[in-house]
A and B are shown apart, each in its own frame.
Chain A
Amino acid sequence: MLKAPWVCRSCAQSLRRVGMSSARSQRSQAQLFQFPFQSLIRRASTAAPGGLSPALFERARTIAAEHDQLSAELETNFDTKTAKRAGEIANIASALRALENAKASLDELKALLESDDAEMQELARDDLEATNAELVSLGRNLSVALTPKHPFADMPCLLEIRPGPGGTEGRFFADTVFRMYQLYCANKGYRTRVVKYECSDSDGSKGSEGEAALQEAVLEVQDPGAYQAFRGEAGMHRVQRVPVTEKSGRTHTSAVAVWVLPSFPENDGPGAENDFDNPESDFYIDPAEVRTETMRSRGAGGQSVNKTESAIRLTHIPTGTTVSMQDSRSQHSNRAYAWRVLRSRIAEQRREAREELSRSMRSNVLSQSQITRGDKIRTYNYQQDRCTDHRSGMDVHNLPNVLEGGEMLGKLIDSVQGWLTERDIQALIAEQEAVNTDGKRAK
């Protein structure tokens, strides 16, 4: 009955008391000892098919009804806006239809089981298991379809890598992490571009693997949808190893921060829907709010001097965000890259602020599972040849393969993707339930 391996006596007693009181609390007791996403399946199995929460099922029904209505409307008179909305919710409607079909066939099978024909019963029993499994997977498809898409999901992304406090060791590892993502992208066939790669001034010092003391690096992954693929990578990456500089062989722990920012695709020109010149866009920045600082040549300038300084620093005055760029010999391209990074940072800040707001309005499951900027998300342990993701709880060995961006890193990233999806579904259920109770209260 209990999923937990061991429960102390007093707890077990209190649980038994609760368990006897009512069937409703029995369910909550079961929940107490399960992972949240398993509870979702268990709880739902009583009410809706396919391990779906009744709240979600209701929502799917409403949306499917809307879809039917919209398609009927489209047949009579075509309208781009209606067509777009219908297209967006079409996958929800089709997922629901598939689920309902499976449910119908399940009911048929159940009816067959009660028939007198022994052969038919046998056949039905064989099919029952497969149909049940199908139902669960279809239910999951529906909940994935129901989760709202991340607003930046289709965009390319910028990976920003910066060492945490902790001196050279953290900087060396920051370089390792940078190379890890670079190689991972190469293995996966993503197109990348190094936007910024700045090492600290202390020239010459190299890590054991020849890594440089990185201060800040920005890697752009140019494929659309890269933001979705990498968004689980944001957070603190912790390393535990014996640094090259360590004389007495003690293990040090240092951290590297990785931020994933949406990168704006190359501007399609005015009139395009996502145009960063559109003040409604998250990426819009009023040029008047940005202070530009460059190295200005003293003296005459023009033909009579030949300065090579191309560094540029942009400061977004309202938020205090600064971006400095000095990699290229051309100030023009430094400026273009700096604007790109600034836009991405501001857009991410705006989205975070919005999410924060919606979270504070509904304090729910979301706030507990939220990973904030300071939380460590992954540990790379050199002595144990192990890499652990703290959110999905996945543990992989063969650390060199992870650091080469091999299939082990791919496994970790996939596990985080799964975790993110589960979290989104849960948030959706919580939200829908809140809406339902609000609705009931209003009645």
Chain B
Amino acid sequence: MPRLPPSFFWQARDISPLAASLLKTCRDLPSALNELRWLREHATAAVLARNNEKKAPSSASCSSSQRHNGHVFLQKFCARRARGEPLQYILGSQPFGDLDIQCRHGVLIPRPETEAYTMRLASILLSEARNQPQQQPPPPMRIIDVCTGTGCIALQLFHALQPAYPTLHVSGIDISPKAISLAHTNLDHNNLPPQSRQSPTTKQTQIITFHQADIFSPNPFPSSPDPSSSPLDLLISNPPYISQQAYRKSTARSVRNHEPALALVPGPHLGAPNQTLNIDLATPHQHADVFYARLLSLAADATAQPRRILFEVADLAQAERVVGLVAGDARLRRLYGAGVEVWRDWPDGGGVERVAMAGLEVAVRGEGHGRAVYLCRAAGG
């Protein structure tokens, strides 16, 4: 990390000594001041919550001790943040789309890039429901979110699609029991009823569930609650995708020290040749891409074949490798070859470029780093 000029610290200290302490982690003054403001709001809220629990008898003595306590809280929060602890773990939450997602140690914090592509995907699915011919109800929608973590993607999609899709099944899968319990907390926290608007006559149900499962085990996907309903409509995943080397070199220190490596780096045991992993893709792949290979081989299976697939990736190079996996497998190429897109960090801005990747024509959308690979099954295919 480059050294910060001392003038930054002088400026920050003029405003507040706490801002100067935050500067070590935030690296620039405006973001240090913003974080200080959010931490202060959180400290005030924490004091109020504690006083409500204690039910302080006299309000006059309360206000001075309250201010004092608020400052003590704030100092503690700032000290934690200065040591590099993620702001979201201190505040306990992160806004994601229209939801407020709770964050806890041991589960990856939702990133703004993830939010951006989730919102775009939701708007695509919504406009599809709206463009249905008149008097025809939108088709049932079944979504699986693999490596769901806090549950943010599954919950946001469920929340956004609820008004448009009367029949909606969303399931989130994660290997970590911590993540599954946090996802359930988030489900309650955002008042998304697990089962809403169930009418016995039309069999319309909206369900969101979270399961603990290892996607490298055989048959990891939960079976469809209604066997007669459609196959999978969307397979979405933000799997661990950082290579061992990049984790050591280019991953931010705060992320390495505080966020779970389980959610960031594919374990070294995965995809090793001595294990039977049901990966039967023809193309060889790098170790960082092992989750994509596994998910694509599951998707190619005749019972799944989701209409849409979206994977978050680290950069354009990894996106190209994932496109290569699709192009290298005959079944996948036939299913998805015509509808491959790569979305950058902010897919709604910027333009669309047409690029040839691994022998396929790919639309690269938006601005920023390459962030997601979006596969769409050809109509009728």
Q: Are A300 and B95 in contact (CB under 8 A)?
A: no
Question: Do A303 and B242 touch across chains, with their CB atoms under 8 A apart?
Answer: yes
**Chain B's nearest CB lies how many Å from the CB of A259?**
24
A211 to chain B, nearest CB (A): 16
Q: Is B119 an interface residue (CB 8 A)?
A: yes
Determine if A301 and B368 form an interchain contact, defined as CB atoms under 8 angstroms apart: yes
**Nearest B residue to A332, CB-CB:** B115
Q: What distance in Å separates the Cβ of A217 from its nearest Cβ neighbour in chain B?
A: 14
* Cβ contact within 8 Å between B95 and A303: no
Determine if A308 and B111 form an interchain contact, defined as CB atoms under 8 angstroms apart. no
Tell me whether A304 and B371 are in contact in the complex, defined as CB-CB below 8 angstroms, given that A203-B36, A329-B94 are known contacts: no
Contact of B255 with A by CB under 8 A: yes
Contacting pair B242 A304 (CB below 8 A):
yes
Stretch at the interface among B244-252, B302-310, B329-337: B244-252
Q: Mark A236-252, 1 if CB is under 8 A from B, else 0.
A: 00000000000000000
Tell me if A306 and B15 are in contact (CB < 8 A).
no
Is A203 within 8 A of B246, CB to CB? no
In Å, the complex CA distance between A270 and B126 comes to: 13
Q: Is B325 an interface residue (CB 8 A)?
A: no
Counting CB contacts under 8 A, is B108 at the interface?
yes
Closest to A301 in B: B369
Query: Closest CB-CB distance, A206 to chain B, in whole Å?
Result: 12
The interface on chain A, measured as residues whose beta carbon lies within 8 A of the other chain's beta carbons, has a size of 30
A203 to B314, alpha carbons, bound, how many Å?
39
Does B116 reach chain A (CB closer than 8 Å)? yes
> A210: shortest Cβ distance to chain B, in Å?
11
Contact (Cβ within 8 A) B264 A304: yes
Residues of chain B contacted by A204 (CB below 8 angstroms): 15-16
CB nearest neighbor in B for A328: B95
Docked-complex contact B34 and A332, CB < 8 angstroms: no
Contacts of B345 in A (CB 8 A): 296, 301
Minimum Cβ distance to chain B for residue A310 (Å): 7
Among candidates A303, A305, A328, residue contacting B108 with C-beta atoms closer than 8 Å: A303
Interchain CB contact under 8 A, A304 and B115: no
- Residue pair A305, B252 in contact (C-beta under 8 Å): yes
With A and B bound together, what is the CA distance between A329 and B246 in angstroms? 28
Q: Is B174 part of the binding interface, using a Cβ–Cβ cutoff of 8 Å?
A: no
Task: Check if B371 sits within 8 Å of A301, measured CB to CB.
Answer: yes
Residue of chain B at shortest CB distance from A331: B112
Interface positions of A from 325 to 341, Cβ below 8 Å from B: 326, 328-333
Closest to A199 in B: B37
Q: Which listed residue, A202, A309, A332, touches B15 by the CB 8 Å rule?
A: A202
Q: Which residues of B in the span 231-253 have a Cβ within 8 Å of any Cβ on A?
A: 238, 240-242, 246-247, 250-252
Q: Is there an interface contact between A292 and B251, defined as CB atoms closer than 8 Å? A: no
Q: Which of B86, B95, B246 contacts A333 (CB 8 A)?
A: B95
What is the chain A residue whose CB lies nearest that of B265? A303
Bound Cα distance A326, B251 (Å): 26
Interface flags, B289-312, vs A, CB<8A=1, else 0 = 000000000000000000000001
- B119/A306 in contact, CB under 8 A: no
The answer to whether A300 and B314 touch across the interface, beta carbons within 8 angstroms, is: yes
Taking the closest CB of chain A, its distance from the CB of B238, in whole angstroms, is 8
Which residue of A269, A292, A295, A328 contacts B31 across the interface (Cβ within 8 Å)? A295
The smallest beta-carbon distance between B298 and chain A, in angstroms, is 22
Is A280 an interface residue when CB atoms closer than 8 A count as contact?
Answer: no
Q: How far is the CB of A213 from chain B (nearest CB, A)?
A: 12
Q: Which residue of A lies closest to B89 (CB)?
A: A306
Contact residue among A202, A306, A311, A332 (Cβ-Cβ distance under 8 Å from B254): A306
**Chain B hits for A116, CB < 8 A:** none
Residues of B within 8 A of A (CB): 15-16, 19, 26, 30-31, 33-36, 38, 86-88, 91, 94-97, 108-109, 111-113, 115-116, 119, 130, 238, 240-242, 246-247, 250-252, 254-255, 259, 263-264, 312-315, 345-346, 349, 368-369, 371
Closest 9 pairs between A and B when the two form their complex, measured CB to CB? A330-B95, A304-B251, A203-B16, A305-B252, A203-B15, A301-B369, A308-B87, A309-B31, A331-B112
Which residues does A use to contact B, with CB under 8 Å? Answer: 201-204, 269-270, 292, 294-296, 299-311, 326, 328-333
Task: Supply 30 A–B pairs (Cβ within 8 Å), ascending by A.
Answer: A201-B15, A201-B33, A202-B15, A292-B349, A294-B346, A295-B31, A296-B368, A299-B250, A300-B314, A301-B345, A302-B312, A303-B111, A303-B238, A303-B241, A303-B242, A303-B264, A304-B251, A306-B86, A306-B254, A307-B31, A309-B31, A326-B30, A326-B34, A329-B38, A329-B95, A330-B94, A330-B95, A330-B97, A330-B115, A332-B119
Q: A300-B251, A306-B109 are in contact. List 9 more A-B contacts (CB 8 A).
A: A202-B15, A300-B246, A301-B345, A302-B313, A304-B251, A308-B87, A310-B34, A329-B91, A331-B115
